[in-house]
């Protein structure tokens, strides 16, 4: 195992391959939004959370660490990937130390919370570090379809795993650090039991508008329409993580604003961005439509690609303080993961020459909002072992055959 061999060179983490094998044999246990809420409000027992997380977090880490090993050798060899694997190994070791500890000991619980905060901070730059590794690999070796397919499959799972582990750690640390967030007293950890979707839309719009005006000195207006089919004329509330929804909307607004301003730079007025929010029995749907010129169908899939990202690489890895209008080009794929994390989705529909509509689908019911988690098994393994095969659809020829009269 490449990952195992790399780790064995470092004596302090020599036991890691064995622990990865041990914990990756278990499947992660997905939680529903309802479980997060019920646990956090009525039965917020720190011991129960500790006993669950000291097993569940290593399982989730080990499952994704098994998959890291199936990345191309040359990608694993980049400085960024070496740094990243060392973070994951260190965090796994720190969590495993709590397996034999007694849950009734107050000091153990306090230390566990501190450890979770340390792990969360250590992993703060996982996304840009992994992105930098992909850039280093691309610059040195280029991109081929098989590598692109494997890296796409892996990164969707890797980043989803990260979203889930951060969710678990945030819930525990926010609920049990003994303080209530004065700005959001009704929040349960990072979850808002009555998340006002339209307010989050407005927040994301205002921030994007400010950025857009800094950069282009102008910005399009927003027109928002609400449809509540369950309770007409009532606000649209769902149980959700506002920061996740904000992340998705902020990304979509940035794209819509940039496209609108650049397409209509010589027009006297900018067409507005239209947002419609609709709550049905099963889904809460947000549709954002712009008149920013659209994207050809051929390019839509590439907008969600990690390997084919066309965004220029940011100069500094630590871009947490400023939110540029373009980063590593990972905004859309990661926003889609946030939507899919609780069984929703994010899709783009574009009309080249006119504009684009982006649609976010979320589950309306907290009992149906269940974590979507990657698990390492034979099915996952097959994805990494597939080789490049001939396409089973005819490829159009550049020069169509002449179909005139045949000469005998």
- Reported as a single tens digit per residue, the pLDDT across 323-340 is 444 456 899 999 999 999
Distance CA 176, CA 403 (A): 75
Task: Reduce the DSSP state of residue 227 to 3 states and report it.
Answer: strand
- What is the arithmetic mean of pLDDT over 261-270? 95
Percent of residues, the chain, with pLDDT higher than 70:
86
Beta bridge partners of 237: 196
80: which DSSP letter? Answer: H
Weakest-pLDDT range from 165-169, 329-333, 344-348: 329-333
Q: Answer yes or no: are the C-beta atoms of 309 and 330 closer than 8 Å.
A: yes
Strand order in the sheet with 273-279: 222-228, 273-279, 283-289, 355-363, 345-351
Whether 203 shows a pLDDT value over 80: the answer reads yes
DSSP β-ladder status, 273-279 and 222-228: parallel
pLDDT tens figures, 363-376:
999 999 999 999 99
Where in the sequence numbering do the catalytic residues fall? 247, 251, 254-255
Whether 79 shows a pLDDT value over 50: the answer reads yes
Q: How many CB atoms lie within 10 A of CB 55?
A: 16
pLDDT, residue 39, reads 79
Whether 389 shows a pLDDT value over 80: the answer reads no
Side-chain-side CA neighbours of residue 310 (13 Å): 5
Task: Reduce the DSSP state of residue 154 to 3 states and report it.
Answer: helix
Task: Reduce the DSSP state of residue 151 to 3 states and report it.
Answer: helix
Query: Average pLDDT over the chain, rounded to whole?
Result: 89
Distance CA 270, CA 257 (A): 10
Q: Answer yes or no: are the C-beta atoms of 135 and 78 closer than 8 Å.
A: no
pLDDT, residue 325, reads 40
C-alpha torsion angle, residues 211, 214, 220, 223 (rounded to 10):
40
Bigger pLDDT: 183 vs 233 = 233
Q: What is the pTM of this model?
A: 0.90
Q: Answer yes or no: are the C-beta atoms of 24 and 58 closer than 8 Å.
A: no
Residue 292: what are its φ and ψ, rounded to 5°?
A: -95, 25
Rounded alpha-carbon distances, angstroms, from residue 323 to 11, 88, 208, 247: 39, 26, 10, 11
- CA end-to-end span of the chain: 63
Residue 362: what are its φ and ψ, rounded to 5°?
A: -125, 155
């Amino acid at each position: 195992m490449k990952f195992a061999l790399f780790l064995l060179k470092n004596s302090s983490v020599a036991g890691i391959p064995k622990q990865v094998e041990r914990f990756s044999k278990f499947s992660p246990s997905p939680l529903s939004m309802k479980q997060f809420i019920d646990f956090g409000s009525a039965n917020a027992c720190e011991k129960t959370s500790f006993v669950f997380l000291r097993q569940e977090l290593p399982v989730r880490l080990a499952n994704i660490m098994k998959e890291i090993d199936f990345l191309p050798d040359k990608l694993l060899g980049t400085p960024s990937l070496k740094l990243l694997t060392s973070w994951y190994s260190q965090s796994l070791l720190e969590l495993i130390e709590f397996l034999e500890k007694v849950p009734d000991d107050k000091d153990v619980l306090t230390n566990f919370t501190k450890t979770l905060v340390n792990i969360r901070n250590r992993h703060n730059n996982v996304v840009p570090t992994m992105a930098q590794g992909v850039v280093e690999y691309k610059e040195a070796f280029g991109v081929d379809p098989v590598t692109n397919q494997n890296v796409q499959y892996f990164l969707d799972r890797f980043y989803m795993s990260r979203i889930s582990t951060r969710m678990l750690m945030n819930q525990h640390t926010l609920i049990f650090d003994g303080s209530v967030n004065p700005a959001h007293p009704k929040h349960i950890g990072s979850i808002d039991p009555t998340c006002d979707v339209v307010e989050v839309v407005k927040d994301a719009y205002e921030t994007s508008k400010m950025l857009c005006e800094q950069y282009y000195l102008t910005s399009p207006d927003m027109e928002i329409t609400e449809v509540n089919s369950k309770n007409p004329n009532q606000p649209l509330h769902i149980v959700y993580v506002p920061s996740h929804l904000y992340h998705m909307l902020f990304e979509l607004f940035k794209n819509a604003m940039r496209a609108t301003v650049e397409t209509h730079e010589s027009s006297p007025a900018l067409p507005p961005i239209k947002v419609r929010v609709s709550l049905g029995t099963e889904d809460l749907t947000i549709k954002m439509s712009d008149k920013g010129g659209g994207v050809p169908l051929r390019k839509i899939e590439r907008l969600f690609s990690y390997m084919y990202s066309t965004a220029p690489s940011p100069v500094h890895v630590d871009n947490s303080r400023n939110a540029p209008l373009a980063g590593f080009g990972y905004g859309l794929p990661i926003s889609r993961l946030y939507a899919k994390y609780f069984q929703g989705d994010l899709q783009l529909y574009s009309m080249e020459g006119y504009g684009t509509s982006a649609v976010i689908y979320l589950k309306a019911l907290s009992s149906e909002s269940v974590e979507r988690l990657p698990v390492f098994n034979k099915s996952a393994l097959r994805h990494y072992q597939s080789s490049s095969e001939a396409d089973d659809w005819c490829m159009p020829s550049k020069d169509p055959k002449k179909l005139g009269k045949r000469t005998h």
